[in-house]
Amino acid sequence: MKIINLSERPEFQDAVTDWLWRAFGSENSREFFASVVRSSLSGADLPQTFIALDEGRLAGTVGLWRCDLISRQDLTPWLAALYVDNHFRSRGLGQQLQQFVLEQSRRSGFGELYLYADFTGYYERFGWKYIGDALDYPDKPVHLFHQLL
């Protein structure tokens, strides 16, 4: 398994957009996810999108974003949009993608990282600390996690 920046293989941007839209979006939010993915190809520090490839086949994706939760814009940066294709689940790829973003964040000079999820019990296994609850737009309760780098 190889994890790289999407900018190295931009031909996967539509597939990544569709994954994110289907996993995290709503009926009319595809263009939002397309915009984030396009922004990650601009060469800016944030956002960044990373992809996992298995012998050239797209296996998963994860983002490093300035903000992933509108109600908590005071926190930055965020591990965001972690997604593993069904065929590659239960093989540790989610953990590998998290580790990659943690390392990338350290190299970029960040001292901490945040994420949110609507579930518990997964991220805690990989060193994330629950720090409270918040609201995803407009009123969906979510759990906040933090990790010192």
* CB distance 58 to 49 below 8 Å: no
Alpha helices by DSSP H, the chain: 13-24, 30-40, 93-107
Closest CA to 145 of 135, 137, 97, 120: 120
Three-state DSSP class for residue 129:
strand
User: Sorting pLDDT into bands at 50, 70 and 90, what band is 49?
Assistant: very high
Report the half-sphere exposure of 28 (CA within 13 A, side-chain side).
0
Counting residues of the chain whose pLDDT is more than 70, the rounded percentage is 100
Q: Tell me the pLDDT tens digit for each residue of 56-88.
A: 999 999 999 999 999 999 999 999 999 999 999
Predicted confidence at residue 107, as pLDDT, reads 95
**Is the pLDDT assigned to residue 102 strictly greater than 90?**
yes
Mean pLDDT score, 97-115: 97
Q: Tell me the pLDDT tens digit for each residue of 120-140.
A: 999 999 999 999 999 998 899
Predicted confidence at residue 94, as pLDDT, reads 98
Predicted confidence at residue 134, as pLDDT, reads 97
Predicted confidence at residue 1, as pLDDT, reads 95
What integer best gives the mean pLDDT of the chain?
A: 96
Alpha helices by DSSP H, 5-135: 13-24, 30-40, 93-107
